[in-house]
Amino acid sequence: MIATTTERIPGKEYEVIGEVFGVTTQSRNMFSDVGAGLKSMIGGEIKAYTKMLTTSREVAIERMKDNAKEMGADAVVMMRFDSGSIAQDMQSVVAYGTAVKFVD
């Protein structure tokens, strides 16, 4: 399943099927929060949070692709991400785009 941030896929013609989404919400663990608190005092990257967000994006993309497959799509174009915090210890990530079906 192709997922691209561009509107066009070179060499492919397609028809639009509809919007697709993939959502995940991850919680931070207590040890990450302690580490983040210490890191915020001295500065620098908080690797546990970076890893959590990277994993969240990967999960959201796979769920979006699954949603597209369920609709009979061959690809997703114009893919984007959105994210936000829920309370103080959860992060939600959504991948979304337009499902398309290739035409001959």
> In sequence order, what DSSP letters do the residues of 7-75 get, joined into one string?
S--TT--EEEEEEEEEEEEEE--HHHHHHHHHHHHH-S--HHHHHHHHHHHHHHHHHHHHHHHHTT-SE
What pLDDT score was predicted for residue 28?
Answer: 66
Choose between 33 and 24: higher pLDDT.
24
Please give the average per-residue pLDDT across 88-104, as a whole number.
91
- Domains plus CATH for the chain? 2-102 (3.30.110.70)
State the Cα–Cα distance between residues 28 and 100, nearest whole angstrom: 35
Q: Are strands 90-102 and 14-27 parallel, antiparallel or unpaired?
A: antiparallel
What pLDDT score was predicted for residue 15?
Answer: 98
State the Cα–Cα distance between residues 52 and 39, nearest whole angstrom: 16
Return the HEC string of 56-69.
HHHHHHHHHHHHHH
What pLDDT score was predicted for residue 84?
Answer: 87
- pLDDT-based confidence at 97, cuts 50/70/90? very high
Please give the average per-residue pLDDT across 37-43, as a whole number.
59
